[in-house]
């Protein structure tokens, strides 16, 4: 994947307190833990209870809505790739 996309995803991972990705009718809320050449991993766990790690392929991000928790405004803000 392009270096520019990976840089934007790193910026997304560092935005806000948490990230939220809605893709294919499912919402995953948590923290971006890893970014590879083909996918990113979001961890939806809280203190290792009932959470899971979800890999999302970059190709699926075209249809995804990315948001992060904006601490200054106490609301979800959309993030554009």
Per-residue model confidence (pLDDT) at position 49? 63
Short-list 2, 62, 4, 69, CA closest to 32: 69
The mean per-residue pLDDT over the stretch 42-52 comes to: 75
d(CA 47, CA 26) in angstroms, rounded, equals 22
The mean per-residue pLDDT over the stretch 12-36 comes to: 93
- Full set of structural domains in the chain with CATH: 3-79 (2.30.30)
16 within 8 A of 36, measured Cβ to Cβ: no
Grade residue 78 by pLDDT with cuts at 50, 70 and 90: very high
Short-list 57, 60, 27, 61, CA closest to 44: 27
Per-residue model confidence (pLDDT) at position 1? 62
Asked whether residue 47 carries a pLDDT value surpassing 60, the answer given is: no
2 within 8 A of 59, measured Cβ to Cβ: no
> Can you give the pTM of this predicted structure?
0.87
């Amino acid at each position: 994947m392009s270096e520019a996309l990976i840089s934007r995803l790193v910026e997304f991972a560092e935005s806000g307190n948490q990230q939220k990705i809605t893709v294919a009718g499912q919402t995953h809320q948590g923290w971006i833990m890893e970014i590879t050449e083909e996918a990113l991993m979001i961890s939806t766990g809280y203190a290792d209870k009932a959470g899971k790690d979800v890999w999302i392929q970059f190709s699926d991000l075209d249809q995804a809505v990315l948001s992060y928790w904006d601490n200054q405004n106490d609301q979800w803000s959309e993030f554009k790739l």
